[in-house]
Amino acid sequence: MEKNKIINIKINGQEIKAKEGETILEAAYRFGIEIPSLCFHPDTPVKANCRVCVVEIKGMEDLPTACSTKVCEGMEIKTESVKVKAARKMNLELIFAEHIEKCPTCPLKSTCKLLAYARKYRLKINRFKDRKSKRKTYKFANAVEIDGTQCIDCRNCIDVCAQQGVNFLTLKNRGSDIEIVPVNDGKHDCVYCGQCAVHCPVASAQEQLHFQEVEKILKDKKDKIIVAQIAPSIRSSIGEIFNLPYGKIVTGQLVASLRALCFDYVFDVNFGADMTTIIEAEELIERLKNSKSVLPLMTSCCPAWVRFVEFYYPEFIPNLTTARSPHIHSAGIIKTYWAEKAEIDIKDVVVVSIMPCTAKKFEAQRKELRIKNRNLVDFVLTTRELGFLLERKRINLAKIEPQKADNPLGEHSGAAAIYGASGGVMESALRTTCDLLNKKEFGCIDFAAVRGAEGIKKANVKIGDRILKIAVANGLGNAKKLLEELKKNPKAFDYMEAMACPGGCIGGGGQPIPTTPKQRAERAKALYQIDRSKKIRMAHKNPQVKKAMDWLDKNEKLKHQILHTRYKKVKKPEALKK
């Protein structure tokens, strides 16, 4: 087949130059022709099992599925003929028999394709009897769940969990009794990445919801001070829920929306990211200087990656940096330094992290991260949950007047802004490492080799006399490949970044649905744009972080607690423990 050969097809009478080898669905999307689809996702193999994307092809009796049928020269396709509409309607009505609607509390509601198709095709959603009312819900710790009563058997969750190298999900039974279940064999455990959730078209796999609890404390505050803190990556993704273009930066609108929800203060996790960078860079320098130290140093700000190491590769626990993750760092500062300055008792401060992530729900309640016997982050809401909360309160983020985050935890460097993209954590740490080592000749700002969506990136970077071997992985399947390489050659790298989700947090398990490669690319581009727009682009130059660090220097014991953590080998699966 000639590469990129152009062929002529017609869709709904419109002449189109399609690429040989692409599917009808791909060709149609490129030309802005929408064909309804549910099970199709560009990240997973085509399974063609929902049959919502059926089309009519001239000369063909059957209706093939657009997601699995490749274009041919001269093909004439109708996407909305009478025959197509009747078949699609029937298929959708059958899907509604698989999916018990729970719309009032479903964070997918405003972007739900099923509901949109129900309206478009005037479905009788109760035409067929619900077949799944007795299915179980499986809860994975406090982070993710799979509700069998909503599942339409598309199997995307099984595919992505396998791509993550976790293989925690499988199929039970056959035919109409088919069910998605966790593997309970003692050898597999969920790591809470939420990739099953962000690839589920019908919110059967989803985050465990905590927005109702947050809604309640915002309504009934009593003497509490409710603080929101926003993660680096959500400012370039949440706009999609409000029909803004992919990658639109909405930091100010996000802050204003949270104030409209009655949060008392809105802080930026980017402040915490600057702290994480400093601790990680110091640790990198320390380990590079000391020949007995364990290398490669591995990033640890992704809790799903940490869990993956703790359960599947505990031999690499000593490699993980002891730096806490950004929202835990900033929450630690909020509940100590800031609370002291604001004269608020730690017990009266409630911190809500708005995250692209389901694993952060699990991380927030880890006992190792407590201070004075309290969790530092009280609630974690995903990007989707916040979007849903705003919709429930009729707050339109797209139209609200932007506002600034509160200081001191509203200030951040450009280095913090890129934390949400694969390679961003390492690039931030390299900037600070170079500068602290006083190797100014290096340039020390833009490390292009670690950027981009490629699953594995490797490079050698020169810091003074030393060549640092670095490796960056996004997606746990890719991280696993690097760990296997290290098992064979322990000196393969000096420094390694791993993020569980494709593209990093911009593709996180709590991000808007859908999240596709194109969306991830635009979201990442926006984060680098924020970085370039900042005068201060190195974490340790953030003056507010410096002040907080000076305060910690006077509180030696607290300093260690707030800045560092430890990890544990997990011998038995814990996700399904009650």
> Residues in the site for ligand FES, rule: CB under 6 A?
37-40, 48-53, 65, 67
d(CA 501, CA 523): 14
**Which residue's CB is nearer to ligand SF4, number 106 or number 144?**
144
d(CA 434, CA 108): 44
Among 417, 505, 526, 549, binds ligand SF4 (CB under 6 A): 505
What six digits make up the tokens of 186?
A: 């003692």
Size of the site for ligand SF4 (CB under 6 A): 42
Among 28, 50, 106, 157, binds ligand SF4 (CB under 6 A): 157
CA dihedral in degrees (68, 73, 74, 79; nearest 10)?
20
DSSP code at position 318:
G
- Residue 163 touches which of ligand FES, ligand SF4, none (CB < 5 to 8 A by kind)? none
Residue, CB closest to ligand SF4: 508
d(CA 207, CA 146): 9
What six digits make up the tokens of 482?
A: 């690097």
Among 27, 190, 429, 549, binds ligand SF4 (CB under 6 A): 190
User: Does 193 help bind ligand SF4 (rule: CB under 6 A)?
Assistant: yes
- Residue 156 touches which of ligand FES, ligand SF4, none (CB < 5 to 8 A by kind)? ligand SF4
Smallest gap from Cβ 36 to ligand FES, in A, equals: 8
Q: How many CB atoms lie within 10 A of CB 491?
A: 9
Stretch 205-224 residues interacting with ligand SF4 (CB under 6 A): 205
**Which residue's CB is nearer to ligand SF4, number 33 or number 453?**
453
**Which residue's CB is nearer to ligand FES, number 41 or number 361?**
41
Stretch 285-304 residues interacting with ligand SF4 (CB under 6 A): 302, 304
CA dihedral in degrees (551, 555, 557, 560; nearest 10)?
10
User: Does 33 help bind ligand SF4 (rule: CB under 6 A)?
Assistant: no
User: Does 164 help bind ligand SF4 (rule: CB under 6 A)?
Assistant: yes
Edge-to-edge strand list for the sheet holding 144-147: 137-140, 144-147, 205-207
Applying CB under 6 A, the span of 164-172, 378-386, 425-433, 488-496 interacting with ligand SF4 comes to 164-172
Among 200, 227, 521, 527, binds ligand SF4 (CB under 6 A): 200
SS3 458: strand
Please write down the HEC assignment for all residues of 509-533.
CCCCCCCCHHHHHHHHHHHHHHHHH
d(CA 46, CA 44): 6
First to last CA, the chain: 55
**Which residue's CB is nearer to ligand FES, number 38 or number 364?**
38
Looking up tokens 């320390």 gives 286
DSSP code at position 480:
H
The answer to whether 361 touches 207, Cβ cutoff 8 Å, is: yes
What DSSP assignment string belongs to 141-207?
TTTEEEETTT-----HHHHHHHHTT---EEEES-GGG-EEEE--SSS-------HHHHT-TTSSEEE
The answer to whether 199 touches 43, Cβ cutoff 8 Å, is: yes
User: Does 444 help bind ligand SF4 (rule: CB under 6 A)?
Assistant: no
**Which residue's CB is nearer to ligand SF4, number 169 or number 369?**
169
For residues 114 to 143, the per-residue mask of contacts with ligand SF4, x marking binding by CB under 6 A and - elsewhere, is: --------------------------x---
Among 161, 380, 409, 472, binds ligand SF4 (CB under 6 A): 161
The answer to whether 157 touches 146, Cβ cutoff 8 Å, is: yes
CA dihedral in degrees (392, 393, 394, 396; nearest 10)?
-100
Stretch 332-361 residues interacting with ligand SF4 (CB under 6 A): 356-357, 359-360
The answer to whether 471 touches 479, Cβ cutoff 8 Å, is: no
The answer to whether 230 touches 415, Cβ cutoff 8 Å, is: no
- Residue 414 touches which of ligand SF4, ligand FES, none (CB < 5 to 8 A by kind)? none
Stretch 506-565 residues interacting with ligand SF4 (CB under 6 A): 508-509
In the chain, what's the furthest Cα-to-Cα distance?
A: 80
Name every residue whose Cβ is closer than 8 Å to that of residue 526 and which is 6 or more positions away in sequence.
235, 236, 247, 248, 249
User: Does 496 help bind ligand SF4 (rule: CB under 6 A)?
Assistant: no
Smallest gap from Cβ 201 to ligand FES, in A, equals: 9
Q: Which helix (H) or strand (E) holds 478?
A: helix 476-488
User: Does 151 help bind ligand SF4 (rule: CB under 6 A)?
Assistant: yes
- Residue 165 touches which of ligand FES, ligand SF4, none (CB < 5 to 8 A by kind)? none
**Which residue's CB is nearer to ligand SF4, number 152 or number 350?**
152
Question: Where are the strands (E) in 299-436, listed by range?
Answer: 349-355, 379-382
- Residue 413 touches which of ligand SF4, ligand FES, none (CB < 5 to 8 A by kind)? none
**Which residue's CB is nearer to ligand SF4, number 153 or number 531?**
153
SS3 139: strand
Smallest gap from Cβ 25 to ligand FES, in A, equals: 7
Smallest gap from Cβ 182 to ligand SF4, in A, equals: 7
What six digits make up the tokens of 562?
A: 């707030």
Smallest gap from Cβ 47 to ligand FES, in A, equals: 7
Among 71, 95, 114, 144, binds ligand SF4 (CB under 6 A): 144
User: Does 155 help bind ligand SF4 (rule: CB under 6 A)?
Assistant: yes
Smallest gap from Cβ 502 to ligand FES, in A, equals: 20
**Contact positions vs ligand SF4 (CB under 6 A):** 140, 144, 146, 151-157, 160-161, 164, 166, 168-169, 180, 190-196, 199-200, 202, 204-205, 302, 304, 356-357, 359-360, 499-501, 504-505, 508-509
